[in-house]
Chains A and B, each alone.
Chain A
Amino acid sequence: MTYIAKPKVTHPKLPRNELGLTVRDYEGAVSTLCAGCGHDSITAALIQAVFELGIQPHMLGKMSGIGCSSKTPAYFVSQSHGFNSVHGRMPSVTTGANAANRDLMYIGVSGDGDSLSIGMGQFAHVIRRNLNMCYLIENNGVYGLTKGQYSASADVGSKARKGPANRQMPIDPVSTAIGLGATYIARSFSGDKQQLVPLIKGALMHKGFALLDIISPCVTFNDHEGSTKSYAHTRQFYHHVIDTDFVPPAQEIVAAYQEGSAMPVELHDGSRIVFRKVDKDYDPTSRAAAFSFLRDSVNAGEIITGLLYIDAETGDMHDLSGSVDEPLAKIPYAELNPGKDALVSVMNRYR
């Protein structure tokens, strides 16, 4: 992580969002990741998405664990609140943060090591709670900071820079999330900002757990020939099945979609996600369909991308638990203190 602040270059003609901020206001410190790292492209897409949504920087919580991916919260929206926690445990910290203040927006940035090995348990359980957060897995199939060990998402047959090919089955976060009941599940590629930005916007506005599994090649340890998480491999087998547009509330859907190929899904705040489907029979609201589609694509050797599943109905953790609307951290103590008389009546029950 860097302590070098990025010089702020502004131009009077830079577009401003509804808060009057430019995209520059959403930048962070200078990245210290390797030149060409997929993660930096994702950071750029994140900046674009939160800028376009007009999110107040200080109302954003940037949560992470440990690893290259988990360093990135330092590289975007420096005016927001970052929490770089311990390895694989970002979901629990975010659960507590959200329990205390449901008014903030939470972006969790994780990696394949952080989520699928040490953090697999927390990853599974944060899905069960349908925590209202946007959860990114910057997936490169490799441990970068410790210099190139396979991660749990490495594909069978994928080759490391040195040594034999991987023979263990990979854990696929997308099919795992479908099985565990996540309510917004997408896959994308760090090299496809056009697809990524609306997916992140949708994930942020979705009320519930939104997973984005983003193939993000590691240029230093996993971008060689024979790797299935390289730029070249991903570009070759990359298959855009569903494109999505994010339409903010009170804005008309103006783009022309072919009949049968466009499907709007309304989110809790009135914004919509419009699916543009390459396969017009694909139903992104069916968990079973998403799962079998995904399985067929794996067999065909394709990396399918887009918003694969959405359920905008199921309530988030607070709905399930029945919390008040007001953030718990903001309730004045006077409302929390049962008072002296109440204690007297409690005491009377223990005689």
Chain B
Amino acid sequence: MINPFANFDAKRRAIALQAAVVVVLLALIAAAIHNAAVNLEKQNIASGFGFLNRTAGFDISQHLIPYKNTDTYARAFWVGLTNTLLVATLGIIFATIFGFLLGIARLSSNWLVAKLALVYVEVVRNVPLLLWLFVIYFGVLLRLPSVADSLHIPGGILLNLRGLYVPWPWGTPAWPVIGAHNVEGGLAIEPELIALTMGLVSYTTAFIGEIVRGGIESVSRGQGQAARALGLNESQALRHVILPQALRAIVPPLTNQYVNLAKNSSLAVAVGYPDLVSVFAGTILNHTNQAVETIAITMAVYLVISLSISAAMSALDARVALEER
């Protein structure tokens, strides 16, 4: 008896199988899209992306690019996106700095510093981020003095529950002054941005701290001892010997934290920060009711942001990788 499949190239069979899976998957996606389109049509719900060119008609408190309520939904989308990118960038920078400090503090030979760092990690990472945001925003920032009683910080800086106002050469006027309702002039950093950034940073710091600690501990003790034997002091040993090796263990999990931070910024609307989800998947979705389109665009944006972070971190990972000789 001759097996009819004996001559069948195993490699070709594998390709055929994979192709079949892809075809089935595409068919499923197409069916889902078709089904959604038919049902939307049947329910007389408008579809398509034409709405992006319609007038937005609403205002946004913080915009990095020029925006007024007579602009289009597309413009409002870019405002939301830039706000998301701003908070994600600030968050990643500060969370990295504080995370490294925290991780090092966890391993400090000073008992008090090490224990305080431990308490910080356990308290912060075991409570949901949304609650921290509420605590920071409603519990701390909105309890600052009113505009009239603004705190004067040396350097012409004003702080009140409406935000932090710093001198700014392009402000009108450049130095912030107390006006009828609000502080006028200077650069206003709104409490919503501060709350969201503080929330994301303090939360992610706890996780990054643990990653850094783990990374440092993965470097064998002999390395540190050898560095000391060569006459390096503790901080020199850390900087020149331990951390470069620890980075190899730190960078891959760090990517996850950065991606998480970017995605967690979508909690913004809880504290009134106009990020992409608040503006686009919130206000615009509701005004146009084109849920499928707005959510699809929003998902695609987060996908691109996350993949960009991953790509950048892969490049970094390649640079810190052990060079085999």
Asked if A and B are interacting partners, one says no
| Residues of chain B at the chain A interface (Cβ within 8 Å) | none
| Residues of chain A at the chain B interface (Cβ within 8 Å) | none
